[in-house]
A and B are shown apart, each in its own frame.
Chain A
Amino acid sequence: MNRGHEYRKERLDRGIKVRSDGLYSLMSWRELSYLTLPRLILICGLLLLPVIVPGMYWQRVISIVCIYALLALSFDFLAYHLGLVCLGGAFFLGTGGYITAVLNATFGLPPVLSIPIAAIAGGLICTLLLLPCIPLRGVYFAIVTLMYPLFFDRLIVALDVLGGTDGIMGIESFPGSQAQYYVPILLVLVCLFGMRRLVNTDMGLMFRAVRDNDQAVRASGININIYKAIGVFIASAMGCLSGACLVHIYMWAGISLLALDFSILPIAATVIGGSGTLVGPVLGCFILVPISELLRAFGTLRIVFYALILVAFIVVRSEGLMVYAQRKYHQFERWVKV
């Protein structure tokens, strides 16, 4: 049969990708830069951002973006590397935020100490609270994590503890405005590259195996709950870290830390950025949060435009920006005769 008129698009790895896969990447500057350039652009771009953007207001926005980026990173890690869909970003953020607020306002610890302590202690508390539902999968885990922030929100108001509706005031700011801008950015970079390293280790392999088929992992004689708990600890510590930073930026901790925004927006950012890529969610936050700031001009219609952008993204390119970009970077396409 003559197929002279029929063509199909072929997708192949770029030569340079194949060349730079192994040790041979050290062969020449071209291969080296193929590997390092995207990472360098990301690092330098993030570090330069506070200098480029105009004015205090946008510098503040960048810091908030980084807070969201940490939450999105934790969501992406839990959902796509461990198979636990967590709708409780606000729970992590609130726990970290309140711990650092108490440590700083009541016990007078400086941010240098209170933030790391809040991250680790918060991670432990969140993991302990989620421990009963760690064996659950799918929608059950999601519902429990969604309920926790609502639960603590009401509890704080009803019992009037931790400042009640007024929140905890008089919290120290970061020492100097430079620190305030650069600490969140550095944290995002460290967490991002740390997580990428982690998911490529043997433990990351374990996490993915638990996501793919927990029965098979159990059949290999491995206790999956331990690995799930470790994963939840890592993710919740990251969330608590972001909460601690946010409290020191706002110099205030209140029940708005447990607002639904902190649970939902990171998920949207993950979808837009490309789930499972880890870089994608961070990128998604850098798109979504500034857009939501720009849309403030529309007043109450803000959410409408915001939702429209989100829906359009999901319908047109549900794979996510980063997945698309990576494919274009690593592969090329050409028409070939069938």
Chain B
Amino acid sequence: MLEARDMMVFYENMVGLNNVSLSCDVNRIVGVFGANSAGKSTLMYVLSGIMLDIRKKELMAGGERISVFGSITYFGQDITNLKPSQRARKGIVLCPERRRIFTESSVLENLKIGGYQAPKARFRETLDYVFSLFPDLGKLKKRTGGFLSGGEQQMLAIGRALMAQPTFLLLDEPLLGLSPRIQANLMRATKDICETRGISVIITEQYARPVLPIVDYAYILENGSAVLEGSGQEMMNNEDVRAAYFGM
């Protein structure tokens, strides 16, 4: 169980997250929706611990001061000050926005890097699972990451995150700039990840329509605050949500 309580993030004097609480149970899909600058990526950085890295980098370079308040617990253990690498080893793995795959390495090498910490048997097993989940990737094992299409890159990014043996998978805008068909494809895969592997997924997206049908619980962020939350069905039926995040 991953739980963030009263998270507050300031970028210098600007509020990035305002008292946002989020919890995700085991074997659940949680959606976080919001427009640009709503704080979705900030929330992902906070959960995965990358925010601590960014904060340190900014401090060293004399950039903006980032202040983070609130607490994050993971199965009852306080992980607020844990480094991102330690969190990943515990099972909180981020699949970053804009994919960030290793463009100079081949598909197989990308996956190997992701699964570097995993035991050998687990590694083989997960690799097979990734290729069964995304059959397209299986045909492109030797292809250099940079030469993949946007959709294939996103599949590769999710695959790489899966190789790190997550218990909680954080998907930051996985549908960015993809065609509706690939979007649907990826959402099916996400559902499969949750159902067959028992991995919880927290997924952020701007456009809720392809995502909302598969989520168990959803949060709506606006200007850094969580303005609305409820089960996926409740959200589907909410007129305001439909107007703002469904484009209808």
A10: chain B residues within 8 A (beta carbon): 13
A11 touches B13 (CB 8 A): yes
Q: Which A-chain residue is minimally distant from B62 (CB atoms)? A: A319
In the bound assembly, the distance between CA atoms of A3 and B67 in angstroms comes to 14
A8: chain B residues within 8 A (beta carbon): 10, 67, 69
A83 within 8 A of B: no
B67: chain A residues within 8 A (beta carbon): 8-9, 338
B12 touches A338 (CB 8 A): no
Known: A3-B69, A8-B67. A324 touches B62 (CB 8 A): yes
In the bound assembly, the distance between CA atoms of A323 and B60 in angstroms comes to 12
B1-34 with Cβ < 8 A to chain A: 6, 8, 10, 12-13, 19
Nearest-Cβ distance from residue A68 to partner chain B, whole angstroms: 24
Q: Which A-chain residue is minimally distant from B60 (CB atoms)? A: A318
B61 touches A319 (CB 8 A): yes
B142 within 8 A of A: no
A43 within 8 A of B: no
B124 within 8 A of A: no
A318 touches B13 (CB 8 A): no
B19 touches A1 (CB 8 A): yes
A11 touches B12 (CB 8 A): yes
A1-51 with Cβ < 8 A to chain B: 1, 3, 6, 8-12
B8 touches A323 (CB 8 A): no
Can you give 29 contacting A-B residue pairs, CB < 8 Å? A1-B6, A1-B19, A3-B6, A3-B8, A3-B69, A6-B69, A8-B10, A8-B67, A8-B69, A9-B65, A9-B67, A10-B13, A11-B12, A11-B13, A11-B65, A12-B13, A317-B62, A318-B60, A318-B61, A318-B62, A319-B60, A319-B63, A320-B62, A323-B62, A324-B62, A327-B62, A338-B8, A338-B67, A338-B69
Q: Using CB atoms and an 8 Å cutoff, list the residues of chain A in contact with chain B.
A: 1, 3, 6, 8-12, 317-320, 323-324, 327, 338
